[in-house]
Structure 1
Amino acid sequence: MNDGHIHTPYCPHGSDQPLEAYVNRALTLGYSSMTFTEHAPLPPSFIDPVPDQDSAMRSNDVEDYIKTIHQLKESYNSDIDIRLGFEVDYIKGFEDEITSFLDDYGDYIDDSILSVHFLKTGGQWYCIDYSPEMFKEAIDASGSIKELYDLYYQAMEQSALADLGPHKPNRIGHMTLIKKFQLLYDPPENWYHSASLFLDTVKKQGMSLDYNGAGAKKSYCHESYPPLSIAALASSKKIPLVYGSDAHHPNQLKQGYSELKQSFIVR
């Protein structure tokens, strides 16, 4: 049992439970390995569009985060393989700052994820998974839900192709996050085509996918990121799928796992 996407108390919008609580819960669940992938600090010149500006960890917490996880590795060395990582946001136009962060801390990274949470449309940035209200604002700003989905998959394509240096994450995070509010806002008819074309880029770049169970537990999603149809297509293309709980609390470890096609998951 491997979980490649776990958050920590260093996440300002997550739980204040200590890291040991995550590890002990993972051991109870039979985990053999776990990767902590805290939200990397956003680029210094980027302004977080969510009201509390709490989308990512603070820059001055990074070194403590690294030190604490190294201590955990030593303490639990005989029990579980603990890996240190980050969930890095790809934000178009901020590639140099993202690369600078990865250059500074890449030597400490065991495993990491590259995700898209932020889209710019109508001259403003939106966090597409923050709330139904912000998602609706993004739809209105872009002109239609089709345009917003198209913008998302353009950003996903750019993230996979971006030159972010030698420490660029090799796993794409929750590639259908744009569908988080699909039960409120019907996805456009072309979403599957856009997602399937993106898989070709993932394959060409030699990247893997975060097979994320969190969406299955979201009130307006009720499916994994990606859903079964895309996961099956990715598997047929021999793209590695790595389970991720996307836990922001110890009790969320292994969430959505039973809803996934487990034979697709890389062990």
Structure 2
Amino acid sequence: MNINGDYHVHTAFCPHGSNDKIEAYIEQAITKGLTELSFTEHAPLPKSFSDPTPDKDSAMKWADLDQYIQTIEKVKKDYQSQLKINLGFELDYIEGYESAITSFLNDYGSVIDDSILSVHMLKTNMDDYVCVDFSVEEFARIIQLFGSVEAVYDRYYQTLEKAIVADLGPYKPNRIGHLTLIHKYQRKYAVDQGYQFTIERLLDIMKKNKLELDVNTAGLYKEECLELYPPQAIVDLASQKGIPLKPGSDSHTAKTIARGFNKLSLLTNN
């Protein structure tokens, strides 16, 4: 695994991020000795989809989209002699909204250098949606809604499989984000069963679909998680299966660029 790049980075265009300037992220990456940086801002949610988070702050606003693209295109040129900068998005896979996601990708795919497909939103049995990583209090409500923490985990991994195999057109992201995000609150809400077999099966499907794995260090710094997304044993297994690995800090502030990269094993993928 090449840890000379941070391939999962958010910006001030993210409503739940910081107001740090784009240049601050870039200067931090250069200071850290990185050679590549992917800005993967949360793509706007489908216009017909209602953000289920209490703060309605899951993704970039549609009104900011063009400015985001222009901003990243400018710094790509400004810093081209110092750092390879990729214009990208983190796309939410939302069950039932595949057509809208595909339309977005078709409209903007020509400018995308790098992208991630992630699951944050789960469809409930009542045909509405919840966001699994908003807060520990919201996660507690979601557990009540689904009936058990295991039921929430099950729905998450079922949705993740749908994301992996979904036909989202020629610009579908080739990397799956924070595979075990559902474990964010595991130290407070533990499950009674392991998900090793489920995750291994998903890795096999990812390999079949030629997808990369986001090795996401953010979970190391979440007080109710304290491990990588996914944990090191799964990263090792993915490497053994020949799945390309891409490290990402999931930074929402400039100071956390490449955070935790010193803890990653020096794995290589050909």
TM band (smaller chain): over 0.9
Looking at structure 1, the residues matched to 148 and 264 of structure 2 have their Cα atoms a distance apart, in angstroms, of: 31
Q: CA deviation at 1:67?
A: 0.8
CA deviation profile, 1:108-129 (whole Å, cap 9, x unmatched): 0001000000112242311101
Alignment of 1:178 onto 2:187 = no
Structure 2 alignment gaps of length 5 or more: none
Tell me what 1:13 maps to: 16
CA distance in 2, matches of 1:196, 1:134: 28
Give the corresponding residue for 1:128. 132
Alignment partner of 1:156 is 2:128:
no
AA partner of residue 159 (structure 2): A
- The equivalent residue for 1:38 is 41
TM-score normalized by the length of structure 1: 0.97
Q: Which has the higher contact order (CA 8 A, sep 6+)?
A: 2
Distance 2:99 2:59 in 1: 18
CA apart distance, 1:199 = 0.6
Alignment of 1:210 with 2:197, yes or no, is no
Where does structure 1 differ by over 6 angstroms across 4 or more consecutive aligned residues?
A: none
- SS of residue in 2 equivalent to 1:133: helix
1:243 corresponding residue in structure 2: 247
Pairing 1:147–2:123 present? no
Matched-pair contact (CA < 8 Å) for 2:239–2:267: no
Shift of residue 259, structure 1, vs aligned partner: 2.5
**Distance across 2 between alignment mates of 1:14 and 1:112:** 18
Residue of structure 2 in register with 1:228 after alignment: 232
CA distance in 2: counterparts of 1:25 and 1:36, whole angstroms:
13
Correspondence list, 1:64-75, <5 A: 64-75=67-78
Is the contact between residue 129 and residue 180 of structure 1 (CA under 8 Å) also seen in structure 2? yes
Question: Kindly, what percent of the aligned residue pairs are identical?
Answer: 50
Distance 1:90 1:188 in 2: 27
Alignment of 1:45-124 (within 5 A): 45-123=48-126, 124=128
Native 8 Å contact 1:179 1:187 kept in 2: no
- Alpha-carbon contact 2:219-2:227 (below 8 Å) kept: yes
Give the root-mean-square deviation of aligned CA atoms: 1.2
Q: Please name the residue that 2:263 is paired with.
A: 259
1:84–1:108 Cα contact (<8 Å) kept:
yes
Shift of residue 32, structure 1, vs aligned partner: 0.2
TM-superposed deviation, 1:35: 0.2
Contact 1:121 1:138 in 2 (8 A): no
Residues 215 and 221, structure 1, Cα contact 8 Å, conserved in 2: yes
How many corresponding residue pairs? Answer: 266
Letter in 1 for 2:63: N
Question: Secondary structure of 2:185's partner?
Answer: coil
Contact 1:216 1:223 (8 Å CA) reproduced:
yes
Contact in 2 for aligned 1:213/1:224 (Cα 8 Å): yes
Gaps of 5+ in 1: none
Matched residues in 2 for 1:158 and 1:98: separation? 13
The residue type paired with residue 30 of structure 1 is G
Partner Cα separation in structure 2 for residue 63 and residue 14 of structure 1:
19
Given that residues 129 and 177 in structure 1 are in contact (C-alpha distance below 8 angstroms), is that contact kept between their aligned partners in structure 2? yes
